[in-house]
Amino acid sequence: MSKVLNAKFFNEFIDMVDLCCSLGWNERNGGNMSYRIATEDIEAIKDEFTFEKPWTSIGVTVANLANEYFLVTGSGKYFRYTKAEPEKSVCIAQLDEKGENYRIVWGLVEGGRPTSEFPTHLLNHSVKFDITGGKHRLVMHVHPVNTIALTFVLPQNDKDFTREIWDMMPECAVVFPRGIGILPLMLTGSIDIAKATAEKFKEYDVVVWSMHGIFSSGENFRDVFGIIETVEKAAEILVKVISMGGKKVRPTAQEIIDVCEEYNLDINKSLL
C-alpha cells in the first residue's frame, strides 16, 4: 500500500476537499487547496517520489519556501472526484533551491499541473511563513454561495465588509479578530491577483475575492475550515437579514471589543 495514500496529512487533505465539495463550495473544478508538508512527513514518503519531471517556473519568487514540498490540487480537477481518484487529482510539488520553479514529484498520474492559482497560494504561504514563523501550512480557496452573494451588495472595502460580518455573531470577531480583506474582481490565475492577495494576507487570515470566492490560511485543516465555515455562516445570516428588510439592531463597537477582550484576542479596532 502506498505510503503517500496512507499518510495522515494526505488523508486529512483529501477528506477536506471532499467535505468542502459536499457543502456546495466547489462546483465542477472550482476551488483549490495547498498544504506545505512537514519535513518528517516528507522523510516518511520520499522513496515513492520521482525526480524526473522538468522544472516549471512559478511566475513569482518565494525564496523563503525554497526546497519545500506542497500537496496541491490539480488544475481543472474536480473536488467531487478527488477522494475516488487522488493520484489523478492532486500532486506533490517540490520547489527548487531559489523558490522560483517547481516540479511534480508525485501524483497527477494522467498528466496535468497544479492549480492555476498556485502562484497565489505560494505567495500567501510565503507571507504567512514569515509572519507565523512557519506555523501556517494550509491555504484553501473555495466558492461559498452566501459570501459571494454579499460581495454584490456590500461596500467593497475591508472595514465595511468585516463589520457587516462581525455583526452577525459574537463568534465571528473571536474566530477572525484581525478581520477580512476584500479584493475587487480581478483576473483569476494572474500574477496581479496573486500579489494583491498576498498583500492582504500580511494583515488578514481570510481574504474575499469579490464576485468569486474566499481564501484562508492557517496552521491546519481544522483551523482553516473553521474560519471559512464561520464567515459563510455569518454571511448566510446576513443574506437572510437583508432579505427580511435589513438590520433593525446591531452590536456596538464596544460590545464586539468586549467579547474579544474576554478571550484576550487582538481585535483589529481600525475596522470598527
Any contact of residue 119 with Zn ion (CB under 5 A)? no
Whose Cβ is closer to Zn ion: residue 74's or residue 213's? 213
Half-sphere exposure of 197 (CA within 13 A, CB side): 34
From CA 193, how far away is CA 215, in angstroms rounded? 12
Within positions 137 to 196, which residues make up the interface with Zn ion, using CB under 5 A?
none
Do residues 65 and 73 make contact, with C-beta atoms less than 8 angstroms apart?
no
**What number of chain residues touch Zn ion (CB under 5 A)?**
1
**How are beta strands 90-95 and 101-107 bridged, if at all?**
antiparallel
Pick the closer one to Zn ion by CB: 144 or 213.
213
- Answer yes or no: are the C-beta atoms of 128 and 122 closer than 8 Å: no
Q: Supply the minimum distance, in Å, between the C-beta of residue 30 and Zn ion.
A: 5
Enumerate residues 6+ apart whose C-beta is below 8 A from 53.
103, 104, 105
Phi, psi of 101 (to 5 degrees): -130, 160
* Catalytic site includes residue 117: yes
Q: Which of 52, 110, 117, 262 is catalytic?
A: 117
E strand or H helix that includes residue 239: helix 221-243
End-to-end alpha carbon distance in the chain: 53
Residue 181 or 213: the one with the smaller Cβ distance to Zn ion is: 213
Residue placing its CB nearer to Zn ion in the complex, 86 or 213: 213
Closest separation in Å from C-beta 216 to Zn ion: 13
Identify residues 211-240 at the interface with Zn ion (CB under 5 A): 213
Is residue 155 within 8 A of residue 216, CB to CB? The reply is no
Q: Which is nearer to Zn ion, 213 or 218 (CB)?
A: 213
CA triplet 111, 114, 119: central angle to 5 degrees?
Answer: 150
Q: How far is the CB of 258 from Zn ion (least distance, A)?
A: 36
Nearest distance from residue 224's CB to Zn ion, in Å?
Answer: 16
Stretch that binds Zn ion, among 195-203, 206-214, 240-248, 260-268 (CB under 5 A): 206-214
Closest contact distance (angstroms) between CB of 253 and Zn ion is 33
Chain residues in the site for Zn ion (CB under 5 A): 213
Q: Which residues are known to be catalytic?
A: 117
